[in-house]
Structure 1
Amino acid sequence: MNSTSIASLAMRQLMVAAALMVLSGSMGLPVPAPPGLVQAASLEDQSFDDTLVVSDRTLRLNGLGLRGVAWVKAFVAGLYLAAPSKEPGQILAMQGPKRLRLKVMLEAPSVELTKSMRHGVQRNEPAELHAQLQDRVNVLAAGIDGIGTFHPGDVLDLDFVPGQGTQLVLNGRTLSTVIAGDDFYRAILKIFIGERPVDKRMKAGLLRGSAA
């Protein structure tokens, strides 16, 4: 193998390793947020509708945030709510349907997102509540693990409908049974906007309070 091939292989391996660390949340160096984080409901060339409908309720885009490290960009997240808010406590207590949408920007094993989700719930919930959530976290994890590999352009939605629960949807296809409980969806949101988010800059973007 010549020196050019060796260098190319090494770069490929480095990029894959960085991508896995971004998804799993194992690197704590977030990408600096660009000026005007949310402009025309678009971030890093990922476009989001200003409004959408979940369970017959029109939701508005609250903000967008990038999850990435250095040159590796994992996904852009968009948070949809019935009423815009910049306060995480208010959002976590807010009644009505919600949607957390992730637009994937790299190819990576879905199990890395599962690891990040599990770790995020554990970091943001006290031990007794974490124990109560564990079976439901396992259901969500099974749905994500079943994806196998994320590809650029994939759209993963985590929807909440009052009286029903949380639904995992990939590219419009339902991946899991409905997971009951307001407390469960709050636990998922805390991964993104809680006191110990997976990425502080992504949290700031999601809490912008409007799509403009």
Structure 2
Amino acid sequence: MRKAFVVVFALFFLASSVYAADVAGVTMPDTMKAGDTDLVFNGGGKRTKFMMKVYAVGLYLKQKSSDADAIMNADEPMAIRLQITSGLVTPDKMKSAIDEGFENATGGNVAPIQAKVDAFTAIFKDLSNGTVYNFIYVPGKGVEVYKGDNLSSVIQGLDFKKALFGIWLGKKPAQNDLKALMLGK
């Protein structure tokens, strides 16, 4: 009996350590990989619009940090995980929101990366409630864009990575309290 309890406890502990971060009712993994680099969950929260939960998002770094500028400008492995949490989010609404985010993140100077932004927003054409996206930056390679477990595209350039992470961490983020949560504050 005691041995069975220890086994059950150990299994529970192992299972809970793989997915332990609860973000707005969405379970986020504690760790992710960017190439060969292990990343840890830095923080996350929910994006709301008109009091509706739109998506849950988490930030993953090599080591925890609350310095938004350093994170955005770093040429090192990192990731963002985003899960749609509403059936009311349409592909057009998501594309519009992401386009606005890039406008804000670049101070209105999207033109130099517009082709990359267009390639990126194309992944949202078939989204639905529960869809998971991973945006994994690997230096020298670019941002690997996953829909579920499937690699959709790789978008090259540190300039694109800075703007992408700037959507949530920039001077004019998608949502101020979400930025603070992603920074672990």
Fold conserved (TM > 0.5)? Answer: yes
Higher strand share: 2
Counterpart CA distance in 1 for 2:142 and 2:119 is 13
Match of 1:205 in 2: 181
Counterpart CA distance in 2 for 1:204 and 1:75 is 16
- Structure 2, unmatched stretches of 5+, are 1-19
RMSD in angstroms over aligned alpha carbons?
1.6
Counterpart CA distance in 2 for 1:158 and 1:53 is 11
User: Among 144, 149, 173, which residue is 2:150 paired with?
Assistant: 173
The AA in structure 2 aligned to 1:121 is F
| TM-score (structure 1 length as normaliser) | 0.73
Counterpart CA distance in 2 for 1:95 and 1:66 is 26
Match of 1:161 in 2: 138
User: Among 142, 150, 163, which residue is 2:128 paired with?
Assistant: 150
Counterpart CA distance in 2 for 1:62 and 1:207 is 6
Contact 1:66 1:201 in 2 (8 A): no
Number of equivalent positions = 165
User: Among 186, 190, 193, which residue is 2:169 paired with?
Assistant: 193
1:1-212 pair list within 5 angstroms: 40-69=20-49, 71-107=51-87, 108-127=89-108, 129-145=109-125, 147=126, 149-151=127-129, 153-176=130-153, 178-208=154-184
| TM-score (structure 2 length as normaliser) | 0.83
- Aligned-residue offset at 1:96: 1.8
Match of 1:8 in 2: none
Match of 1:6 in 2: none
Q: Which runs of 4+ in 1 moved over 6 A?
A: none
Counterpart CA distance in 2 for 1:60 and 1:121 is 25
Counterpart CA distance in 1 for 2:123 and 2:56 is 20
Rate the CA distance shift 1:111–1:70 in 2: closer, same or farther, 3 A: closer
Counterpart CA distance in 2 for 1:136 and 1:64 is 25
* Percent of residue pairs identical: 27
For the residue of structure 1 that corresponds to 2:155, the secondary structure is coil
The AA in structure 2 aligned to 1:155 is V
For the residue of structure 1 that corresponds to 2:110, the secondary structure is helix
For the residue of structure 2 that corresponds to 1:83, the secondary structure is coil
- Aligned-residue offset at 1:70: 5.3
- CA deviations on 1:172-203 (whole Å, 9 max, x unpaired) are 11223x11101101101111010001111111
